[in-house]
């Protein structure tokens, strides 16, 4: 297994404060990351604080992060990291959340290659991390990193939002959702991540929100990537 350096800052508004996190993380696995000073878990370092900003950086490839409850194993907030040169000047804004003692910060990094990541959020339930290895110029399916389930395994749920991150320098041309018969249900064009930062586009190739797409068995989510 390969590893790489990961750093993050987590902060809140007003007098809520903020902490720096860092560590060497394992690629293709969820890895807990503690504070740079004191090596404390997120829940112990910032218990009772309300946070609304997470800035994460990785060395190379791609990177997702999650704030997870280690007892319930639910992902309460999530997003993508960026290369340090592509960090947004305002950080990465998230919906405010009050930190409890059981919260931990986790990374999910990938070494450089052709594997793409996507956070898929369904209404009323935590987001799920999907991934797929897709050759340049090809169409490929994304499935969950936990058990390789297709989108259709969440039947009777509704897609709320989707965020996609490709490896450094890759272009996500198109994201599509198909029904069991291969009929197109939804499509959205993407692009290439920023390399100089300044905006959230340093961490995502495509983002679509405010959806309410019913999920039925056999449905898939696929990406077309540029050659």
Q: Quote the CA–CA distance of 121 and 131 in Å, as a whole number.
A: 14
**Position 2 pLDDT exceeds 80:** yes
pLDDT of residue 214: 98
pLDDT of residue 87: 81
Specify whether the CB–CB gap between 97 and 206 falls below 8 A. no
Q: Per-domain residue ranges for the chain?
A: 3-110, 115-225
User: 5-58, pLDDT tens digit by residue?
Assistant: 999 999 999 999 999 999 999 999 999 999 999 999 999 999 999 999 999 999
Specify whether the CB–CB gap between 114 and 168 falls below 8 A. no
Tell me the average pLDDT across 175-199. 89
pLDDT of residue 227: 75
Specify whether the CB–CB gap between 188 and 206 falls below 8 A. yes
Q: Quote the CA–CA distance of 169 and 31 in Å, as a whole number.
A: 24
User: 56-96, pLDDT tens digit by residue?
Assistant: 999 999 999 999 999 999 999 999 999 987 887 778 899 99
Please give the structure tokens belonging to residue 99.
């930190």
pLDDT of residue 200: 65
Which residue has tokens 């994460």? 56
Tell me if residue 166 falls in helix, strand or coil: coil
Which pTM does this prediction carry? 0.95
Confidence of residue 175 (pLDDT cuts 50, 70, 90): very high
pLDDT of residue 90: 79
pLDDT of residue 199: 60
Nearest Cα to 120, choosing from 148, 142, 146? 142
pLDDT of residue 197: 61
79 strand-pairing partners = 65
User: 104-159, pLDDT tens digit by residue?
Assistant: 999 999 999 999 999 999 999 999 999 999 999 999 999 999 999 999 999 999 99
pLDDT of residue 88: 77
């Amino acid at each position: 297994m390969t590893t790489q350096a990961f750093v993050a800052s987590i902060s809140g508004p007003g007098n809520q404060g903020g902490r720096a996190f860092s560590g060497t993380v394992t690629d293709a696995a969820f890895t807990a990351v503690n504070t740079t000073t004191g090596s404390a878990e997120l829940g112990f370092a910032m218990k009772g604080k309300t946070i609304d900003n997470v800035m994460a950086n990785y060395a190379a490839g791609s990177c997702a992060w999650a704030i997870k409850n280690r007892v319930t194993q639910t992902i309460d907030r999530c997003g993508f990291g960026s290369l340090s040169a592509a960090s947004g000047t305002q950080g990465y804004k998230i919906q405010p959340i009050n930190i409890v003692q059981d919260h931990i910060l986790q990374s999910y990094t990938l070494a450089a290659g052709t594997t793409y990541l996507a956070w898929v959020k369904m209404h009323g339930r935590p987001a799920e991390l999907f991934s797929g290895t897709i050759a340049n110029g090809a169409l490929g399916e994304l499935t969950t990193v936990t058990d390789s389930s297709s989108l259709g395994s969440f039947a009777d749920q509704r897609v709320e939002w989707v965020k996609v991150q490709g490896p450094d320098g890759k272009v996500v041309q198109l994201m599509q959702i198909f029904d069991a018969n291969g009929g197109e249900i939804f499509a959205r064009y993407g692009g290439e991540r920023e390399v100089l930062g300044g905006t959230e586009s340093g961490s995502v190739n495509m983002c679509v929100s405010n959806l309410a797409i019913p999920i039925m068995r056999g449905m898939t989510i696929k990406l077309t990537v540029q050659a």
